[in-house]
Structure 1
Amino acid sequence: MISLTAVEKRYSTQVAIGPVTLDLPAGGITALIGPNGAGKSTLLTMIGRLLPADAGSISVGGHDVAAVKSRELAKVVAILRQENHFVTRLTVRQLVGFGRYPHSQGRLTVDDERIIDRSIDFLGLDGLEGRYLDELSGGQRQRAYVAMVLAQDTEYVLLDEPLNNLDIQHAVQMMSHLQRAARELGRTIVVVLHDINFAGHYADRVCAMKDGRVAAFGTPDEIIRGDVLTGIFDTPVDVVDGPRGRLAVYY
């Protein structure tokens, strides 16, 4: 479980996140949605300890995020931020291998290599592992970064807008990979998404944020509703029943 108790981040008297008190159950996918500036990415980075909270407490898998040693935390939770893009010229396999650093400290073992192979195969990159990142399409490169995070082999995975700059085909593929990772690898995935319909279709739980606070939390059926979404996004939203679930239509 990820547990937040009275968590706050203050930037000024006018801009603040929280207080947020929230329990995210282990397993499955939790999608963080909300308008720009709602605090989704800030909350995610505080959970991953890339940004310190100004008040409150956060625990991940029973570990106090503020107190646990960095190397131990890196074996429990992995995070991929929007700006996590290496400028050094690396092959796909070299990039994915960075995910093993908390375990191997750069000295890869046979077991590390096996996990790297598994992560590359899981994301469908087995034919690309020798290619350099700057030789890949945007969708392939994004899959390589997610493979690196999966190779860290943590129970908890935090992803900040992994669908950014992906077309519909590659966004669908990415969410399908994440859904499989949650179900087949037993990962607990928390993902920031802008597309309401991707959240409704692929997530097990949806946390909607507004003005730095949690406005609603529940199953997709509970959150992907016209009245709830209209209040969160301050724009009219209708929800219709589609062939594969509910669809949000905004205008």
Structure 2
Amino acid sequence: MSLDIASVRFAYRRNQVLAGVDLRVDEGGFCALLGPNGSGKSTLVKIIARVLQPAGGGVSFGGRDLLAAPRREHARVVAYVPQSGATPFEQTVREAVLLGRTPHIGLRPTRRDWAKVDAAIDRLGLTGLADRPLSQLSGGQAQRVLIARALAQEPRVLLLDEPTSALDLRYQIETLRIVRSVTREEGVTALIAIHDLNHAAHFCDQAVLLDGGVVVADGPPAEAFDADVLSRVYGLDIRVSQGETGVEVRPAALERPLLSGAAEERA
């Protein structure tokens, strides 16, 4: 099965953000959505999550129309991690993660539901915070709670909207490793809106670059990251190199040696 996005269009009033996006992510694939601010990364994720309604086009998974499916059915397939989320402060971490089981729960949570909750909490390194109120968490900890909630949902499609923006470097890496392991071990299809090109190159199987409301590059990072295309899209001279650990992207300005104050004045 695959996640298929066909001719999706969207506009905020007169500002067209998506002008016909076509994209396929294979089952178990980890796909990075990239592009400058305003390119439509978050908008596309929100459309698949049904937070926003597109002006046209369709989204399906395994041939199932995700935009027309009943909400509960959609929630059994798709889990969404927003950039941030307001949750009742009186909730504990464990109670908040239990919300991810809502599409599966009958009259009351079962032992299996609580087991899934505890497994997700442990996977995100939140076990020591499980009984702590959300009001006592840092922004980064709260973001990990949202990711744990999504994993507890047992989705087939995992959508993440810049999930590492509030995390320090350690948890950025750990979170991306967790998502990659979920895709590979459980066959979950993941789509992540992210700014860091090097993180995308290292962790993701597929890189999709948006510009002007359309896809301008799509493929494995080693193929999708073309220096000329990236430079044009980001308005910056960008270099792409192939190292021992994979593709590396650097602004050309960072390759120049730093000048001393006097030398800088002479330059």
**Aligned residue type for 1:126:** T
Equivalent residues in 2 for 1:5-24, closer than 5 Å: 5-24=6-25
Q: Which residue of 2 aligns with 1:73?
A: 74
Q: Secondary structure at the match of 2:57?
A: strand
In structure 2, give the amino acid aligned to 1:211.
Answer: G
The residue number in structure 2 matching 1:232 is 233
Question: Is the aligned partner of 1:180 residue 2:187?
Answer: no
TM-score by length of 1: 0.94
The aligned residue for residue 116 of structure 1 is 117
Residues 196 and 248, structure 1, Cα contact 8 Å, conserved in 2: yes
| One-letter amino acid matched to 1:38 | S
Alpha-carbon deviation of 1:139? 2.9
C-alpha deviation, 1:246, in angstroms: 1.8
Bigger Rg, structure 1 or 2: 2
For 1:204, the aligned partner's letter is: D
Identity percentage of aligned residues: 37
- Give the equivalent residue in structure 2 for 1:221: 222
Residues 1:55 and 1:130: Cα distance change in structure 2 (over 3 Å):
same
What displacement does 1:243 show?
4.2
What is the aligned-residue RMSD (CA, Å)? 1.6
Residue by residue over 1:171-206, the C-alpha shift from the partner in whole angstroms, topping out at 9 and shown as x without a partner, is: 111111111221223211100001111111100101
Query: Partner residue of 1:134?
Result: 135
Q: Is residue 142–residue 162 contact of structure 1 (8 Å, CA) maintained in 2?
A: yes
SS of alignment partner, residue 74 of structure 1: helix
User: SS in structure 2 opposite 1:217?
Assistant: strand
Shift of 1:123: 1.6
Q: Residue in 2 aligned with 1:94?
A: 95
Give the count of matched residue pairs: 251
Residues 241 and 12 of structure 1: is their aligned pair in 2 closer, same or farther, counting only changes over 3 Å? same
TM-score by length of structure 2 reads 0.88
Seen in structure 2, the aligned counterparts of structure 1 residues 14 and 110 have a Cα distance that, compared at 3 Å, is closer
Give the superposition deviation at 1:136.
Answer: 2.8
Residue type matched to 2:213 in 1? G
The answer to whether the 8 A contact 1:100-1:106 is kept is no
Rounded to whole Å, the distance in 1 between the matches of 2:133 and 2:210 is: 38
Q: Report the CA distance between 1:105 and its aligned residue.
A: 5.3
2:265 maps to none
- Displacement of 1:146 in angstroms is 0.3
Aligned to 1:206: 207
Contact residue 5 and residue 60 of structure 2 kept, 8 A: yes
Distance of 2:17 and 2:118 partners within structure 1 = 42
In 1, Cα distance between equivalents of 2:166 and 2:124 = 18
In structure 2, what is the Cα distance between the partners aligned to 1:26 and 1:185? 10
User: Which residue is equivalent to 2:259?
Assistant: none
**Shift in alpha-carbon separation, 1:160–1:105, aligned structure 2, 3 A:** farther
Cα shift at 1:87:
4.2
What secondary structure sits across from 2:38 in the alignment? coil
d(CA) in 1 for partners of 2:181 and 2:147?
13
- Asked whether the 8 Å contact 1:48–1:79 carries over to 2, the reply is yes
Q: 1:214 to 1:62 in 2, by over 3 A?
A: same
Structure 1 position 84, deviation (Å): 2.1
Moved over 6 A (4+): none
Deviations 1:12-46 (A, max 9, x none): 44433121122221112100000000001111111
Cα distance in structure 2, aligned partners of 1:240 and 1:137: 37
- Could you tell me which residue of structure 1 aligns to residue 263 of structure 2? none
